Amino acid sequence: MKQQKIGFTRFIILSLFVIFICLCAAGCNKEDIPKNSGIVIFSTPARYSAEAKATGNLSASPVITPASAATGTATPTPSPTPAPTPVPTPVPTLEVLPTQGTIIEEFFELPIDFDDPTVTETFNGRTPLKQIRFKVCDPENKQNRSTERVGHWFGKDTPAQPKRFQQHYEEMGWSALTVDMKTTDKILYLTFDCGYENGQTIKILDTLKEKNVPAAFFVTMDYLVSAPDLAARMIAEGHIVGNHSDKHPDFSKISRTRMASELQRVENYLRTHFGYSTRYFRYPMGAYSDNSMDLVTSLGYHSIFWSFAYDDYTEGLIRGKEYAFDKVTKSLHPGEVLLLHAISQDNADALGDIIDYAYAQGYEFRTLKQYFG
């Protein structure tokens, strides 16, 4: 009887324990588990895979659902980092610079100057050269180069202003010489302008030959026609004969075609009557413009100016050789391009003394060919 009571008591206690356990399980809710706790919850049979349900094999491993999924809250998918917008590489732009040259698409070809291009005899016995025809590039000046007159006047008895001129010519790309800035040595370039002949050139040539000094003579057509023997002597004795134009016009006031014609006529006369060609030009009156400098350079000429000159161009004006000597010798400077007019008796009389003085001061006389190469 005692053992039956003990067994009954155990049964009662076990039953109460089972009831207690059931009550605890009923009060426990999965929502009470803190989110992000890392605890994994095994859900109801719905957590088995569809394949397991279809086959009835519920012994398969259950589907493990993270706590966040069990609560119905979707885990946020991180937004992809947007790719950086490519920055286009800037395309370099080319600056189109105005050319100092000429429009080669448009040109006018000058006619032959003389009716008889087959001259067989020259004034100096040389074989005549064939006439040339200049092509005038951009004859209408469509590039609108400046036609403003620039006067390279005489009286530049200090080298500062000629140096500014020379720098400008070089910056513009023009082939020109007003003072030799390539050297600081005592170099002189002796040049003469010959618009016409009045009897002084013979004495000048005699002095140059005696002193063994080279010079350049810039001649007009009138000079060549009226004094061919003197032009022939200049060439024979090794001097440069330069182009000083046909009619001696102001080159800042005439067309590009007229400029080319002025040069071509003298060039062709030298070629046919002296067997000689020149590429040195001096502007009449020293007057020019950007337009004329461009045209003359395009024809292959070197424009020769000066770094000193004085008013020696009036025929019949005699002030004595001492006057000419003082004016010239006081102006001497390294790289000087000296301009004298061949019609001046003062110059002709003083030339020998001027040369001697220059030599005594350590000066060397050079040719334009030595400068331009």
What does the pLDDT look like over 199-208, one tens digit per residue? 999 999 999 9
Residue 218's pLDDT is what? 98
**Strand 240-243 to 176-177 pairing:** unpaired
Using 50, 70 and 90 to split pLDDT, how confident is the model at 118? low
Answer whether 319's CB lies under 8 Å from 347's CB. Answer: no
**Mean pLDDT, residues 264-268 taken together:** 96
CA distance 258 to 356: 42
Catalytic residue, chosen from 152, 294, 341, 349, is: 341
The 10s digit of each residue's pLDDT in 295-307 is 999 999 999 999 9
Strands, E assignment, the chain: 107-109, 135-137, 150-151, 176-177, 187-194, 216-219, 240-243, 280-281, 287-288, 302-304, 336-341, 364-365
pLDDT surpasses 50 at 344: yes
Residue 316's pLDDT is what? 87
Higher pLDDT, 172 or 154: 172
Q: Lowest-pLDDT range, 73-82, 233-242, 361-370?
A: 73-82
pLDDT surpasses 90 at 176: yes
Whether residue 193 lies in the annotated active site: yes
Half-sphere exposure of 174 (CA within 13 A, CB side): 22
What is the average pLDDT score of the chain?
A: 80
Using 50, 70 and 90 to split pLDDT, how confident is the model at 61? very low
Residue 289's pLDDT is what? 96
pLDDT surpasses 80 at 119: no
Whether residue 152 lies in the annotated active site: no
3-state secondary structure of 172: helix
pLDDT surpasses 80 at 327: yes
The 10s digit of each residue's pLDDT in 19-57 is 655 555 444 444 444 444 333 333 333 444 444 444 444
CA distance 247 to 266: 10
CA distance 190 to 200: 16
Using 50, 70 and 90 to split pLDDT, how confident is the model at 107? confident
How many other CB atoms are found less than 10 A from the CB of residue 101?
A: 13
Residue 50's pLDDT is what? 47
Residue 346's pLDDT is what? 97
**Strand 216-219 to 187-194 pairing:** parallel
Alpha carbon 350 to its chain's center: 45
CATH of domain 107-372: 3.20.20.370
The percent of residues above 70 in pLDDT, for the chain, comes to 68
Higher pLDDT, 228 or 104: 228
Catalytic residue, chosen from 113, 138, 180, 193, is: 193
Residue 7's pLDDT is what? 60
User: Residue holding tokens 């950007």?
Assistant: 290
pTM of the model: 0.71
- The amino acid at 88: P
